[in-house]
């Protein structure tokens, strides 16, 4: 095989490999949607986060605008501190926005849903969301229902 043909094949090979990698990044992965590197972080404390995981989506009106970047326990009041990374494109969230840990479907994965408030000022990097609603834990719900039913009967 001549040298030119060989170089041509190798060139095609490298292009095909890089094209495949690009397809993976853009079409399979979500490089084109939320970019975590370009995000600002706010925190919210919940009494209970249920089965919420790091990297779970953060949505507003059902649209994904960020993701959970960290979950830890507050050393003082033992609540869960959830750190949310939100895309810079959505930097106009009112300061009285409320956060809730929600479940997609009855048994689906858990995510954080944000509900905008009415304040003029916007949330900034490091701010804290004050109004939160904990996860609904199915077992507790059922337990409570049975307990109240038993009380009613008694």
Residue 146 CB, nearest approach to another protein (Å): 28
Residue 36 CB, nearest approach to another protein (Å): 8
Which lies closer to another protein via its Cβ, residue 52 or residue 123? 52
Interatomic CA distance for residues 99 and 88, integer angstroms: 18
Q: For the chain, how many residues are written?
A: 154
Which lies closer to another protein via its Cβ, residue 39 or residue 123? 39
Task: List the beta bridge partners of residue 114.
Answer: 60, 99
Per DSSP, the three-state class of 145 is helix
What tokens appear for 127 in the block? 């701010």
Residue 65 CB, nearest approach to another protein (Å): 14
Interatomic CA distance for residues 46 and 106, integer angstroms: 21
Which lies closer to another protein via its Cβ, residue 21 or residue 131? 21
Residue 151 CB, nearest approach to another protein (Å): 37
What sign does the CA torsion over 104, 134, 114, 51 have? negative
Largest CA distance in the chain: 94
Interatomic CA distance for residues 45 and 81, integer angstroms: 4
Residue 28 CB, nearest approach to another protein (Å): 5
Contact residues: another protein, CB under 8 A: 3, 6-7, 9-10, 12-14, 16-21, 23-25, 27-33, 36, 53-55, 57, 64
Which lies closer to another protein via its Cβ, residue 57 or residue 117? 57
Which lies closer to another protein via its Cβ, residue 55 or residue 75? 55
């Amino acid at each position: 095989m001549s040298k030119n043909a060989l170089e041509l094949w190798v060139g095609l090979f490298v292009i095909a490999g890089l094209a495949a990698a690009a397809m993976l990044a853009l079409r399979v992965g979500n490089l084109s949607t939320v970019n975590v590197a370009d995000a600002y972080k706010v925190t919210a404390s919940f009494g209970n986060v249920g089965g919420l995981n790091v990297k779970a989506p953060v949505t507003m009106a059902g649209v994904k605008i960020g993701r959970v970047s960290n979950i830890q326990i507050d050393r003082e009041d033992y609540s869960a501190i959830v750190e949310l990374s939100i895309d810079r494109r959505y930097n106009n969230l009112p300061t009285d926005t409320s956060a809730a840990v929600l479940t997609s479907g009855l048994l689906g994965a858990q995510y954080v849903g944000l509900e905008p408030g009415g304040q003029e000022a916007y949330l900034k990097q490091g701010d804290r969301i004050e109004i939160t609603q904990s996860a609904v834990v199915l077992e507790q719900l059922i337990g409570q229902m049975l307990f109240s039913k038993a009380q009613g009967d008694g």
